[in-house]
Structure 1
Amino acid sequence: MARGRGRERELRVRGGELSTPRLREGTPQRAGLDPGEIDALVSQVRGLTAGERPWAAGVVVVAGRGPVLAVAEAAGWAVRYAAWDPVTGAGVELPVERRVAMTVDTPFDLASLTKLFTSVAAVQQIERGTLGIDALVGAYLPEFRAAAEHGITVRQLLTHTSGLRPELPLYDCADATERLAMLRAEAPVGVPGEYVYSDLNMLLLQHVLERITGRGLDVLIHDGITRPLGMTATRFGPCPGAAATEDQRRPWAKADRGMLRGEVHDENAWALGGVAGHAGLFSTGRDLAVFCRALLAGGSHGPARILGPDFVELLLTPPGLGFALDQPWFMGELAGRGAASHTGFTGTSLVLDPATDTFLVLLANTVHPCRRPPDSRPRAAAATRLARAAAKA
């Protein structure tokens, strides 16, 4: 897979080890991006928070090319509403003086972007030889009898081809013992080998990783990814300063928890204590830009190395391990050349394009104050602007 703009030429020798330039803030011109398209991108994103019923209460957009962070902008509100009124079908707005403005450094509930970190943690173990990509899950977790009986593999978990259903109502279980028993007994309902996106894949993968390493997923991600990359704002919750998400109540939600801010939105992740393979991480736009940059640079950022280039290649080779590849419905014109991405239910997304060495992080609290039918057209439009900015430069 091409890495774009000569990734190998960026490598520097420092103390006998390969090193890549750290991400630094600069201008679109310095990043090799057309300033007109970038201005249009920023204006377009700002407009997403306008009006009485905007696409999102608040938005952060971060984008760049190579080691240059060319865009870091915020608009709207991290906290705009006190509650959701199901009678009027509208949010109950806070007085302006009680709202919290969005900033570039506002943390967000990443929702399913967490899956990317779980996937990288798994590929790290594959690189170390402690995990076999085509190994049977039952070899590591024999007590997960349904997965063992049906021959589910690690690769199937990473590619959502295990046949497991999208989710289980773990949030309705009485206690941790019942939740674990339900997960252990869950058998595939689909045809193994066919793609069915499922949170259960990452929950099983979490158990595999914790079994083979003897460490919790939160520790694996911190020690193996966020700490070496200097991603100090990325962690599992609680995260009190985060952008608000939903006034979570039945019947539109699966639990009655009220307005959420800094507590994981996903009901299953919440039931599991906030640390889960499919959801639970909080992060900022700048931190996620570093994550994107490290993968585009072959697994390194400055002197830190989280994966070798061959294993980044494995991660991003079709059909992708954890990542979705070339999906125009939310990647716009960045799709079609091996671009990798993911979205999160709360309104988060990121995309990295090895062909042009560009990345785009779009974080929004679209579920504030209440979840709604998903609309990824703004994500696709923003990605298209970035693709055109790279093409025109």
Structure 2
Amino acid sequence: MRIPALLIATTMLFTTPAHAEGREARFDRPHEGWASSVLRPGTPEHVGLDPAPLDAALAQVQRYTVPDASGHPLFAGAVTLFAHEGAVVTHEPTGWAVRYSDGAGTELPEAQRVPMAPDTIFDLASISKLFTSIVVMRQHELGRFGLDDPVARHLPEFGVNGKGSITVRQLLTHTSGLVAWLPLWSQYPDVPSRIKAVMDTKPRSAPGTTYLYSDLNLITLGLLAEKWSGKKLDELVRDDITAPLGLVDTGYNPPAAKLDRVAATEYQAGRGIIRGSVHDENAWSLGGVAGHAGVFSTAPELAVLGQAILNGGAYGDRRILEEATVELMLTDFNQAFPGNSHGLGFELDQRWYMGALTSPRSAGHTGYTGTTLVLDPLSRSIAILLTNRVHPSRNWGSINPARRAVANGLAQAMAVRPHRGTALTPQSDGGTVTTRDLERRADRQTLSFWAFVDLDASDKVVVEATDDGTTWRQVHVLAGYGERRWHRVEVGTESALKFRWRYDRGTGYDGRGVYVDAVRVTDEQGALFDAEQEPTGLDAEGWRAVDR
């Protein structure tokens, strides 16, 4: 489904389409610098995307709304949005915003259910942390604090129980050492005592020594922003983000007039099926406004925020952050903690939900309720999957496969053009591409080829040589991801009878893939083999030829 006519007619977020017919989306040509787009409705073809992978991703999301062997679906419903080069090419609701009547999963009669709609409002859960981080960084632009200021300099009550040296930067990067969570809602009687519990908590580890994702970091950052600005957090989000960007459905505690558009979340004892108030118990106990959770939004409005980040902090003639600030937010400050790349607020380089869009520059966040935002600056793309996966229970399974399916669909819709002619790419585990027998005229040979490599860290393509057709020796390994460029490989080796490329599939998540092109073998007397001149000289098993 493309952009619904109703949405085009009723939203001021997207402009009319700019003509871009014939431009091809190239995964192998990454952008540098900031975009400058205002979102507009479009089609995949208008921005050079292959619609088939997008449609396949949407079909997979739809299948996840159908009960499986467990007797229930992975999630009740979803809204998926794809944007590329400023064009929103897909905006698809599926399933139900309200489907169940209790925590046991009793389905409502269909007449009482509420279908997902393009403008369904979702509890974003921890994606709220991005909103808090943005307003904090806006205060930084105003000179209210330094990133390496001790938090206790601004919140003296925080500096107890060994927290005196924790910095603002460490809160933003989850390296403060604070524990992940406290049961504020159940063990403390009111808001003041809950806030005091956060201020009084003792770190689990020394600041800066470990990465530990913690809601308390963002609760504290919300309090800091309020202290610096003299405003409440919801006012800051309104004044610094939603009002400048023209977002009318984004904020805390949705008004009763919009309740019929809000997706339901979990059944909780004493609260029933939650709809219209924040799912997170701690945020709920803090009045629905907290640094770690509480923001509600729609897919198109979240896309506008994402585009503003891809634009370096601006959207049209409105600016919410300076370019230098956005650069800081997308810079990995956690290189000492491999696998936990993190900017100032944004998660970076997380293949478990960013899928084939992953690179050291890819940014985003997820939410416990089933929400996902992925921003890919290298292709100027946005992938959004909003679900109500906790409706009616948080125990119905992980939606990470759906998150990756969505990101992978957008990545695969972009072309990887062969460097020259036709390239080969593996389509099965353990597949090989092997040259024909080569004449051995000299002691040394040079194997050269072009490669495009975007693989999971556990995957590799091993380049091997054989002298007898039976025993193989390694001469090179293709591995890595994130550069998204063709590069020339040249390997000098002892004279061999054959060369082959063997794909070793690991246990991780798929990348965009590996492609091999323009294979050539030479010796001191000249060319022995040139695949561009002799394509039948390559025997592919489990690999396929591609021209896109």
Fold equivalence (TM over 0.5): yes
CA distance in 1, matches of 2:86, 2:218: 31
- Matched position secondary structure for 1:77: strand
Q: Does 1:23 align with 2:46?
A: no
CA distance in 1, matches of 2:301, 2:345: 19
Give CA-to-partner distance per residue, 1:319-377, whole Å, 9 cap, x none: 31111111111111111241011110000010000111101110000000111243311
Match of 2:408 among 380, 384, 387: 384
- The alpha-carbon deviation at position 72 of structure 1 amounts to 0.3
RMSD: 1.7
Match of 2:202 among 174, 187, 200: 187
Comparing 210-219 with 332-341, greater Cα deviation is found at 332-341
Give CA-to-partner distance per residue, 1:138-160, whole Å, 9 cap, x none: 01001223277431100000000
- The alpha-carbon deviation at position 297 of structure 1 amounts to 0.9
Q: Which amino acid aligns with 1:76?
A: G
- The alpha-carbon deviation at position 5 of structure 1 amounts to 4.1
Kept after mapping to 1: 8 A contact 2:242/2:250 = yes
Match of 2:56 among 14, 32, 40: 40
Kept after mapping to 1: 8 A contact 2:123/2:295 = yes
Give CA-to-partner distance per residue, 1:108-128, whole Å, 9 cap, x none: 000000001111111111122
Match of 1:225 among 241, 246, 250: 241
Q: Does 1:242 align with 2:262?
A: yes
In structure 1, the partner of 2:94 is 75
Q: Which amino acid aligns with 1:316?
A: L
Match of 2:80 among 38, 44, 61: 61
Structure 1 pair 231–321 and aligned structure 2 pair: CA distance change class (3 A): same
Structure 1 pair 363–222 and aligned structure 2 pair: CA distance change class (3 A): same
Q: Tell me, which stretches of 5 or more residues in structure 2 are unaligned? A: 1-28, 333-341, 417-547
Kept after mapping to 2: 8 A contact 1:150/1:188 = no
In structure 1, the partner of 2:120 is 106
Kept after mapping to 2: 8 A contact 1:139/1:148 = no
Comparing 188-197 with 109-118, greater Cα deviation is found at 188-197
Percent identity over the alignment? 48
Q: Where in structure 2 are the equivalents of 1:79-228 lying within 5 Å? A: 79-85=98-104, 91-146=105-160, 149-172=163-186, 173-193=188-208, 194-228=210-244
CA distance in 2, matches of 1:158, 1:248: 31
Q: Which amino acid aligns with 2:266?
A: E
Give CA-to-partner distance per residue, 1:245-276, whole Å, 9 cap, x none: 00013xxxxxx321100110000000000000
Q: Which amino acid aligns with 2:93?
A: A
CA distance in 1, matches of 2:388, 2:400: 13
TM-score, structure 2 length as denominator?
0.65
- The alpha-carbon deviation at position 31 of structure 1 amounts to 2.8
Q: Which amino acid aligns with 1:109?
A: D
CA distance in 1, matches of 2:75, 2:399: 11
Comparing 39-48 with 356-365, greater Cα deviation is found at 39-48
Q: Which amino acid aligns with 1:185?
A: D
Q: Which amino acid aligns with 1:272?
A: L
Runs of 4+ in 1 over 6 A off after TM superposition: none
Q: Does 1:306 align with 2:320?
A: yes
- The alpha-carbon deviation at position 292 of structure 1 amounts to 0.7
Q: Which of 1 and 2 has higher RCO (CA within 8 Å, sep 6+)?
A: 1
- Matched position secondary structure for 1:177: helix
- Matched position secondary structure for 1:189: coil
Q: Which amino acid aligns with 1:192?
A: P
Q: Where in structure 2 are the equivalents of 1:208-357 lying within 5 Å? A: 208-239=224-255, 240=259, 241-249=261-269, 256-318=270-332, 319-357=342-380
- Matched position secondary structure for 2:101: strand
Comparing 62-71 with 96-105, greater Cα deviation is found at 62-71
Aligned length: 370
Give CA-to-partner distance per residue, 1:2-27, whole Å, 9 cap, x none: x954655x6xxxxxxxxx44211110
In structure 2, the partner of 1:16 is none
Q: Tell me, which stretches of 5 or more residues in structure 1 are unaligned? A: 11-19, 86-90, 250-255
- Matched position secondary structure for 1:222: helix
- Matched position secondary structure for 1:269: helix
TM-score, structure 1 length as denominator?
0.91
Kept after mapping to 1: 8 A contact 2:158/2:164 = no
Kept after mapping to 2: 8 A contact 1:26/1:69 = yes
